[in-house]
Amino acid sequence: MTNLGEQKILLLDGNFKDGNDCKRILGGAFNFRDYSLTFSCMVVPSEGEMFDILDSGSYIPNLFLLALESDETDCHQVIGKLKSNDRYKNIPIILAARERDEDKEAAGFELGAVDYVYKPYNEAVLRWRVFNQILNSANNLKIKTLTHQKEILFNAMNANEELFLNTKLREKQLQNTIINAGVISLTARDECTGRHVDRTYRYLKILVEKMIAKGYYKTEFEGLTDQEMFLKSARLHDIGKIAISDLILNKDKELDDIEKELMKEHASKGAEMIRSFKDKHEKVLFDMDDAEPKPGDFLYHAARFAEYHHEQWDSNDGYPSEKNKNEIPFEGRLLAIVDVYDALVAKDRPYREAWSHEKACAHIEGLDGIQFDPMIVAAFKEIEEDLKNLIMEETAI
Ligand SMILES: [Fe+2]
Ligand SMILES: [Fe+2]
């Protein structure tokens, strides 16, 4: 049982007897289906008195019951006055009449009345009609309140989403700036490597798109929150070369064994640089409490691309991470293949002649399961034509 509490009815009726009858009928506690309420009825004999009470502000009814037996103009005026006042316009009005006149009834509804009752009153019918309008009004108020609350919530969600998107955009811009700054610094040290990281990024993108289309390493790719930033972070894979001596970096001949060992350090040095950058700066830039790189952070992937891109699948001659096969982080296995491909076909290496696309592909395929992850070689075979076309386009430019 829902208790609707005290429901105040303001009755305007110039007929003393009718007013008293109505006050008796609409007085006391009642149950209507699942609802209980208490009616309290105030009777006023004239329009003037009614507005005096209303204007005093001390009494606001839940329902008006207007017995307007004078001419139609008066009736229009009273209802019009109530409907033009913000305080009363939503309070239901029931009109009472002695005789049924359908034209007048229609005119009353047109003005804003919600129901009609007829004298002499039938007690049960009068109570039910008043109850129905009070319940309807209470439900309307509830809907209005819920709609308003929904609007507030919706606006708050929109504002939040906008803030979230702005923060995400700012974060993306910062990530791009960091990657570009790294590549620009690297290019300033070694133009050849600067071009290499841009090309490997494009090859990697084609390779990854093919692998996703084929469903290779589905779990690994589905775990990426931002595929674009994952790929872009690979452009930092040779950042460690900044820390390699000019004598080695810019040597125009093949490196000797000692120099090769020193050059190999660019992988671990690069990863160290990226991780230290995150430790020192990302916390400030992205307001993160946890400075440890974790999956999903672009610097986490960048560090893994850098550290493991020279690892070999069978671990015979890779960089000394003591990892092999699937222990090698996915980023390293992915990049290894396009990194070698570019190293072989690049025409800007001062110390050796570029290989043809076909020779480079045959070399990579020959190292399937030896230096490279077999599933990634399978995807590579399917993009060979795309890579060839890309190289031809770039040569044409
Ligand atoms: Fe490298
Ligand atoms: Fe590289």
Q: How far is the CA of 204 from the centre of ligand 1 (A)?
A: 14
Q: Report d(CA 332, CA 222) in Å as an integer.
A: 18
The candidate with the shortest Cα–Cα distance to 232, out of 177, 278, 282, 166, is 177
Q: Is residue 385 part of a domain?
A: yes
**Scanning the structure block, which residue is given the tokens 């709609």?**
147
Q: Is residue 178 part of a domain?
A: no
Instruction: Return residues with CB closer than 5 A to ligand 2 (ion).
Output: 238, 339
Same domain, 386 and 304: yes
Q: Report d(CA 114, CA 129) in Å as an integer.
A: 10
Same domain, 198 and 278: yes
* pLDDT, tens digit (0-9, with 9 covering 90-100), for 373-391: 999 999 999 999 999 999 8
Q: How far is the CA of 210 from the centre of ligand 1 (A)?
A: 23
Least confident of 50-64, 192-206, 244-258: 244-258
Rounded to 10 degrees, the C-alpha dihedral 198/204/209/215 comes to -170
Q: Is residue 312 part of a domain?
A: yes
- Residue 145: CB atoms within 10 A of its CB come to 10
**What is the per-residue pLDDT for 127?**
95
Report which listed range, 139-153, 160-174, 179-193, is most confident. 179-193
Greater pLDDT, 297 or 133? 133
Q: How far is the CA of 193 from the centre of ligand 2 (A)?
A: 7
Q: How far is the CA of 16 from the centre of ligand 1 (A)?
A: 103
Return the SS3 of 10: strand
Q: How far is the CA of 226 from the centre of ligand 1 (A)?
A: 24
Q: Report d(CA 65, CA 22) in Å as an integer.
A: 10
Q: Is residue 167 part of a domain?
A: no
Same domain, 143 and 195: no
Same domain, 116 and 199: no
Same domain, 292 and 384: yes
Q: How far is the CA of 307 from the centre of ligand 1 (A)?
A: 9
**What is the per-residue pLDDT for 250?**
82
Q: What are the structure tokens assigned to 284, written together?
A: 């400030």
Angle at 178 between CA 172 and CA 182, to 5 degrees: 145
Domain of residue 344, CATH code:
1.10.3210.10
Q: Which ligand is nearest to the CA of 240?
A: 1
Q: How far is the CA of 250 from the centre of ligand 1 (A)?
A: 15
Residue 368 has pLDDT above 70, yes or no: yes
Q: How far is the CA of 255 from the centre of ligand 2 (A)?
A: 16
Q: Is residue 354 part of a domain?
A: yes
Greater pLDDT, 298 or 382? 382
Q: Is residue 232 part of a domain?
A: yes
* pLDDT, tens digit (0-9, with 9 covering 90-100), for 78-134: 899 999 999 999 999 999 998 888 888 888 899 899 999 999 999 999 999 999 999
Same domain, 20 and 122: yes
- Between the two ends of the chain, the Cα-to-Cα distance in Å is 82
Domain range enclosing 9: 2-149
Q: Which residues contact 270 (CB under 8 A, 6 or more apart)?
A: 236, 237, 238, 239, 240, 241, 303, 306, 307
Q: Is residue 302 part of a domain?
A: yes
Angle at 90 between CA 23 and CA 141, to 5 degrees: 100
Q: How far is the CA of 394 from the centre of ligand 2 (A)?
A: 19
Give the end of a domain, one of 116, 149, 182: 149
Q: Is the dihedral of CA 9, 13, 16, 18 positive or negative?
A: negative
Q: Which ligand is nearest to the CA of 241?
A: 1
Q: How far is the CA of 393 from the centre of ligand 1 (A)?
A: 25
Tally the domains of the chain. Answer: 2
Q: Which ligand is nearest to the CA of 270?
A: 1
Taking residues 52-61, what's their average pLDDT?
91
Same domain, 129 and 19: yes
- The mean of the pLDDT values for the chain is 89
- % pLDDT > 70, the chain: 92
Return the SS3 of 8: strand
Q: Report d(CA 234, CA 299) in Å as an integer.
A: 10
* DSSP label at residue 264: H
Q: How many helices (H) does the chain have, and how many strands (E)?
A: 15, 6
Instruction: Record the pTM.
Output: 0.61
Q: Which ligand is nearest to the CA of 338?
A: 2
Q: Which residues contact 328 (CB under 8 A, 6 or more apart)?
A: 308, 311, 313, 318, 321, 373
* pLDDT, tens digit (0-9, with 9 covering 90-100), for 300-348: 899 999 999 999 999 766 676 778 899 999 999 999 999 999 999 998 8
Q: Report d(CA 68, CA 148) in Å as an integer.
A: 36
Same domain, 282 and 377: yes
Q: Is residue 69 part of a domain?
A: yes
| Beta bridge partners of residue 42, listed in sequence order | 10
C-alpha of 258 from chain center: 53
Same domain, 258 and 132: no
Q: Which ligand is nearest to the CA of 196?
A: 2
Q: How far is the CA of 356 from the centre of ligand 2 (A)?
A: 19
Same domain, 102 and 218: no
Return the SS3 of 83: helix
Q: How far is the CA of 240 from the centre of ligand 1 (A)?
A: 8
Q: How far is the CA of 372 from the centre of ligand 1 (A)?
A: 15
**Identity of residue 105:** E
Same domain, 282 and 355: yes
Same domain, 6 and 111: yes
